[in-house]
A and B are shown apart, each in its own frame.
Chain A
Amino acid sequence: MIRGLFNAASGIVAMMQAQEVIINNIANISTPGFKKDIPVYRSFSNILQRRIKNQESQARVEATFTDFSQGEIESTEGSLDLAIKGDGFFTLLTPQGIAYTRAGNFTLDKTGRIVTAEGYFLLGKNGPISVSGSGKSRLEVNSKGDVIVDGTVVDRIRVQVFPKPSSFLYKQGKNLFKSIATVSTVGKGGTYDIKQGYVELSNVDIVQEITDLLINLRLYESAQRAVQLQDETLGKICNGI
């Protein structure tokens, strides 16, 4: 009896956690290269099995699955705005080591290295890519990621492809992803095109999110009713018999 009360209450807690994940997606609707998270509840069959085996059978958010699907690509004219169409991530050097990003709004630092707005270096074949001394109007990046200054290739952008990014990458904030595995073990493959003068927007879909928000609210309400019904039943037992 009391377990039913706890199980219904666990729904309330899980729904609030899902709400936090959905709202983070909404807050990042204008963040370039942002990938939305989807809350994954413990499945019904899993809960049912646990119930039969007399184990703990509460509802909960079991995982947040990051959806790495392509975001929309917007034209910006900036010569250092780069978007990846397809698989892969830009490789960055941060003070905390290598990180990956899909946010391609780069600038130059004062010595001519390509950096993010936070000052992290974009890596090429041999360390940070430097285009020093060039006027920015003559900087070109082709679809393979070759950085061309005045017609000569100076470096190639290191694009790291993860065949299953959701199993390897976790979010670090500041548009960065960290890998849990060393790069040599993640395998190769995947195709991509780099587009200069474009930025990849977030892949958050406003209609989907507002729908999820409303569904979540109603589920929350149902869980509350379930708690109240359990409470009423308990009340009957305590006072009615």
Chain B
Amino acid sequence: MLRALWTAAAGMKAQQLFIDTIANNLANVNTTGFKKSRVDFQDLLYQTVTIAGTKAPGGGQLPVGIQIGHGVQPVAIERLFTQGEITETKNPLDLVIEGDGFFQVLQPDGSIAYTRDGAFKLDKDGRLVTANGLPLEPEIIIPPEATNISISHDGTVSVLTPGATAPQEVGKITLAKFINPAGLKSIGYNLYKTTDASGEAITGTPGLEGFGTISQGFLEMSNVQVVEEMANMIIAQRAYEINSKAIQTTDEMLRIANNLRR
């Protein structure tokens, strides 16, 4: 009897999670390198009273059975690693990856994290670091006297120093890719960590085997489409509403049942 109430409540909870995810996508609409998430739902278990195709009590075959479902549950919040929009910044330390690769950064605990956010800066030692101060891995140090930094599509970093006639190579950026990037764990600060589901990182030279090429002077914006999120928000709100109506209707039915005996 109360099953209908729980089923509708599960529906409301699912839509609440849907809204939460949309809100996080919208909040990060201007976050560089942000990848939007999506909630995947699935139906819950069914109470099977009779199965279609089995023998009916009268001897015939049941054309359809009776199955009563118990609602819905979220099964995954999946990140969609599609390319975000690319904007030009003309800043020589702003890098964008066109393709599936990730930049590797060294965390204070010595482990490697991965990011699509290519807004790099220099720290006091001349190292290329993220906005949070995490150095790029492998480490690239720009000499203090360098006047012009150029980064090629394959990740080679060269600088011009006063007195030198030709640019001098100071390092090479390597990228990482994953068989299943959707399995990466987000740890905030635009960073991801590997998990058992993502597989180990495969590192390599930009431009080769699907790593993507690096372009200097550009940034990758988020891949959140505001209009799409707004449409999803409307859908989620209406779905939430109809689930609450379902609770109200069931409540009304229970009231009627309670009034059977006046």
Contact = CB atoms under 8 A, between A and B. Distances in A.
A and B from one complex? yes
Interface of A: 12, 15-17, 19-32, 34, 37, 40, 61-66, 76-78, 103, 105, 107-112, 117-118, 132-138, 166-175, 180-181, 206, 209-210, 213-214, 216-217, 220-221, 224, 227-228, 231
A224 B69 CA distance: 25
A173 B48 CA distance: 11
B238 interface: yes
A28 B80 contact: no
B227 interface: no
Nearest to A35: B43
Given A40-B64, A228-B260, A170 B51 contact: yes
Interface string B16-28: 0010000000000
Interface stretch (B110-118, B164-172, B175-183): B175-183
B103 to A, nearest CB: 16
Interface of B is mostly: mixed
B235 interface: yes
A224 B38 contact: no
Given A23-B71, A167-B52, A173-B70, 18 more contacts: A16-B253, A19-B250, A23-B7, A24-B69, A30-B236, A31-B42, A63-B65, A109-B199, A110-B196, A111-B179, A111-B199, A112-B180, A135-B99, A135-B210, A137-B100, A173-B45, A213-B246, A224-B260
A16 B46 CA distance: 16
Contacts of A12: 257, 260
A110 B198 contact: yes
B8 interface: yes
17 contacts: A12-B257, A12-B260, A20-B3, A21-B69, A23-B11, A26-B8, A32-B40, A108-B182, A109-B180, A110-B183, A132-B179, A135-B99, A135-B177, A168-B53, A206-B239, A217-B253, A220-B256
Given A224-B259, A224-B260, A213 B245 contact: yes
Given A20-B4, A24-B43, A31-B43, A206 B238 contact: yes
Contacts of B45: 172-173
Interface in B58-78: 62-72, 75-76, 78
Nearest to B236: A30
A167 B53 contact: yes
A196 B213 CA distance: 25
B70 to A, nearest CB: 7
A175 B75 CA distance: 10
Contacts of A31: 41-43, 72
Nearest to A20: B4
A37 B65 CA distance: 11
A16 B238 CA distance: 24
Given A29-B239, A224-B259, A117 B75 contact: yes
Given A20-B4, A168-B52, A180-B54, A136 B100 contact: yes
